[in-house]
Amino acid sequence: MINNPGNHTGSTPHHDDETRTYYDTADVDAFYDAVWGGEDIHVGIYTDEHEAIADASRRTVQQAADKVADLLGPHATVLDLGSGYGGSARALAERFGCRVVALDISEQHNRRHRAANARRGLDGLIDVVTGSLGDLPYEAERFDVVWSLEVLCHLEDRPRALSEAVRVLRPGGALVFSDIMADEKTPPEAVRPATSRLSMPALGTPSRYLDLLSGLGLKATYEDRTADIATHYARLDEEVHHRAAELREVISPAYVDELLTNLPLWTDITRRNLLRWGIFHARRPAA
Ligand SMILES: C[S@@+](CC[C@H](N)C(=O)[O-])C[C@H]1O[C@@H](n2cnc3c(N)ncnc32)[C@H](O)[C@@H]1O
Give yes or no for residue 260 having a pLDDT over 70: yes
Ligand 1 centre distance from Cα of residue 105 (Å): 7
List the domain boundaries for the chain: 13-282
Average pLDDT over all residues of the chain: 93
Give yes or no for residue 199 having a pLDDT over 90: no
Please report the pLDDT score of residue 215 as a whole number. 98
Give yes or no for residue 263 having a pLDDT over 90: yes
**Sheet harboring 77-81: ordered strands across?**
126-130, 99-104, 77-81, 143-149, 169-182, 275-283, 219-224
- Best CA proximity match to 139, nearest among 86, 101, 177: 101
The ligand 1 atom at the shortest distance from the C-alpha of residue 132 is: 20
Each residue of 143-162: pLDDT tens digit? 999 999 999 999 999 999 99
Longest Cα–Cα distance of the chain, Å, equals: 57
Confidence of residue 12 (pLDDT cuts 50, 70, 90): low
Q: Are 219 and 33 in contact (CB under 8 A)?
A: no
Report the pLDDT averaged over residues 238-262.
95
Please report, rounded to a whole number, the percentage of residues in the chain having pLDDT higher than 90: 86
Report the pLDDT averaged over residues 61-66.
98
The closest residue, in CA terms, to atom 20 on ligand 1 is: 132
CATH of 13-282, one of 3.40.50.150, 3.30.70.20, 3.30.365.10, 3.20.20.70: 3.40.50.150
The ligand 1 atom at the shortest distance from the C-alpha of residue 161 is: 19
How many Cβ atoms sit within 10 Å of the Cβ of residue 113? 23
Ligand 1 centre distance from Cα of residue 124 (Å): 22
Ligand 1 centre distance from Cα of residue 192 (Å): 20
Kind plus residue range of the DSSP H or E element containing 128: strand 126-130
Stated pTM of the model? 0.94
Sign of the CA dihedral running 128, 129, 135, 136: negative
Ligand 1 centre distance from Cα of residue 81 (Å): 7
The ligand 1 atom at the shortest distance from the C-alpha of residue 11 is: 19
Give yes or no for residue 10 having a pLDDT over 70: no
- Quote the Cα angle for 4-75-10, to 5°: 25
Q: Name the residue of 154, 157, 160 whose CB sits within 8 Å of the most ligand 1 atoms, as the mutation to test its pocket.
A: 154
Q: Name the residue of 104, 109, 164, 181 whose CB sits within 8 Å of the most ligand 1 atoms, as the mutation to test its pocket.
A: 104
